[in-house]
Amino acid sequence: MDELEVIRARKMQELMRKARAPAGPVEVSDVSFNDFIGQGGLIVVDCWAEWCGPCKMLSPIIDQLAKEYVGRVLFGKLNVDMNPATAAKFGIMSIPTLLVIRNSQLVETIVGAVPKNHIENVLNKYL
């Protein structure tokens, strides 16, 4: 395969990944969590609760990042009140907490309502 064919194939794979990727965060539960992170690649799970003010502040940032990183990062949202098993498994004591998962393994945890550029810096470290 010559270099142009390799580039063309890589671009086609990227376009197909983007076409299948959701344009926003996916709701994740205790039941679906392992399947969700088992998709591989870079995944961010926003652990939140309905009553949490900082979670509500972070939510639009997560929505925006999900659109900007479509096809490169998969975003999920896990309501910790409705899914206590996963929250306990990861020792989540404060929310919002972002679980950064790469190839099904937790690589970093971000706690609190942090600025968008902080999250982007973490994402870019793993892309």
Residue 126, pLDDT above cutoff 70: yes
- Per-residue pLDDT tens over the stretch 13-47: 665 555 556 778 999 999 999 999 998 899 999 99
Q: What is the pLDDT of residue 10?
A: 73
23-126 folds as Glutaredoxin (3.40.30)
Residue boundaries of the structural domains of the chain: 23-126
Distances (CA, A) of 56 to 16, 72, 89, 116: 32, 24, 23, 14
Among the listed residues 67, 42, 54, 61, the one whose alpha carbon sits nearest the alpha carbon of residue 97 = 54
Positions marked catalytic: 52, 55
Cα dihedral 104, 107, 111, 114 sign: negative
Q: What is the pLDDT of residue 16?
A: 57
pTM (2 decimals)?
A: 0.83
